[in-house]
């Protein structure tokens, strides 16, 4: 019995070492989406004033500290949001996306895609929810909530618009941007 408990504790320790802890949430070092193995590039906290909203990780095929290179690439990319706050209404999520899209001009340029993207957020995000925003070449931008694909926006040009919310030089999230870039 002692041996089983020790093995279980060892397995728990190993899994904890393979993750980064941000605000009580854990972000794994690696994510797999189909054939695409992605590695944690950087991680940080999304705050609204002083409220911790979600732990956030940027996942790439190869490490990079250049937002310009990341946004220009055509390969797989993912943002993981592990919600820490008790509840974020879908209206607030959509407002935040639209602010990010408007800042880069994507709200007008990709009106159909942003509308479809926003429609995927039909429920509030609650503490413990994990959202993955993933771009896969040949598939498009997927929104995944708790390992369930909510939908896909197929336009490959929408990739840059989505990930610019966090990575654009003029983002409203400069501290989070720097953390995601590993700086």
Residue 14: inside a domain: no
Give 171's pLDDT tier (boundaries 50, 70, 90): very high
The Cα 33–Cα 76 span in angstroms is 9
C-alpha distances in Å from residue 137, one per residue of 64, 71, 127, 152, 159: 19, 14, 30, 12, 10
The 10s digit of each residue's pLDDT in 117-164 is: 999 999 999 999 999 999 999 999 999 999 999 999 999 999 999 999
User: Could you say which DSSP state residue 63 is in?
Assistant: -
- Number of structural domains (the chain) is 1
Q: Do the beta carbons of residue 46 and residue 176 sit within 8 Å?
A: yes
Residue 8: inside a domain: no
Residue 140: inside a domain: yes
Residue 6: inside a domain: no
* CATH assignment at residue 74: 3.50.70.10
The Cα 169–Cα 171 span in angstroms is 6
Residue 30: inside a domain: yes
The 10s digit of each residue's pLDDT in 24-55 is: 999 999 999 999 999 999 999 999 888 999 99
Q: Residue 132: give the domain boundaries.
A: 20-180
User: pTM for this structure?
Assistant: 0.88
Residue 3: inside a domain: no
């Amino acid at each position: 019995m002692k041996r089983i408990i020790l093995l279980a504790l060892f397995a728990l320790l190993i899994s904890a070492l393979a993750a980064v802890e941000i605000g009580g949430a854990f972000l794994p070092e690696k994510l797999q989406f189909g054939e695409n193995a992605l590695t944690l590039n950087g991680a940080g906290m999304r705050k609204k004033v002083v409220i911790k909203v979600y732990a956030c990780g940027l996942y790439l095929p190869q490490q990079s500290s250049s937002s310009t290179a990341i946004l220009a690439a055509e390969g797989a990319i993912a943002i993981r949001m592990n919600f820490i706050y008790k509840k974020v209404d879908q209206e607030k999520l959509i407002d935040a996306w639209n602010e990010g899209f408007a800042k880069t001009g994507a709200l007008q340029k990709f009106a159909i895609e942003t509308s479809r993207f926003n429609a995927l957020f039909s429920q509030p995000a609650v503490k413990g929810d994990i959202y993955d925003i993933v771009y896969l070449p040949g598939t498009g931008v997927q929104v995944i909530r708790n390992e369930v694909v909510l939908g896909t926006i197929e336009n490959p040009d929408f990739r840059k618009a989505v990930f610019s919310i966090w990575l654009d030089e003029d983002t409203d999230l400069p501290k989070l941007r720097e953390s995601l870039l590993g700086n």
